[in-house]
Amino acid sequence: MSSPGDVPPEILDRLRRVCRALPESYEEPAWIGMRWRIRTRTFAHVYSPDTDRYPLYAPYASANEAPVVMTFRVPVDDLLGLTADEFPYFRADWGHNVVVAVLDERTDWTELTELVTDSYREMAPKFLAARLPPLA
C-alpha cells in the first residue's frame, strides 16, 4: 500500500517533461506530493490523497491504493464544461477555478498536457504566457 503523497515515478516523469517545457517553471515538494510553480504560484500539484482523511477521493481508490490526482487551474469559463461529466475531472472543494484530475491508466496525456499548459497560462505573468505557442 502506498503512503499518502506518493506518486508513481512514471507519472512524475511524464509531468516533469510537460512542466519543464514551460518558461521559468520549477518543481518543488509540496506538503504532500509534488508541485510545479511559476514564480510563487502553483499551476499543477500531483499527489495521492489519504482517502480516510479526504473521503471525496475514496471512490477513485483501488485495491488498497490511494488514487493519484492532480490539481490545476482552468479559465472560469471552461470549468463547467470540463467537470460536467465528472470522471476523470471534478471541481476541487477549494478555489474558484481549481479542477482535480484522477490520473490512471485511462489518462489522456495529450489532453492533460493541454490542461497543464492552460493552467500555466492562468498563473504566469502575461509576458511569460505570451512566450507559449498561440492557443488553437
- pTM attached to this predicted model: 0.92
In this predicted structure, what is the pLDDT of residue 4? 52
**Beta-sheet strand order (sheet of 41-47):** 25-29, 34-38, 41-47, 68-73, 98-103, 89-91
Task: Copy the grid coordinates of residue 92.
Answer: 476541487
Q: Report all structural domains of the chain as residue ranges with CATH numbers, in order of start.
A: 9-129 (3.90.1150.30)
In this predicted structure, what is the pLDDT of residue 2? 52
- Distances from the Cα of 76 to the Cαs of 54, 62, 80, 118, in angstroms? 25, 31, 8, 12
Mean pLDDT, rounded, of the chain:
91
In this predicted structure, what is the pLDDT of residue 23? 97
End-to-end Cα, the chain, rounded Å: 42
Residue-wise pLDDT for 4-27, tens only, equals 578 999 999 999 999 999 999 999
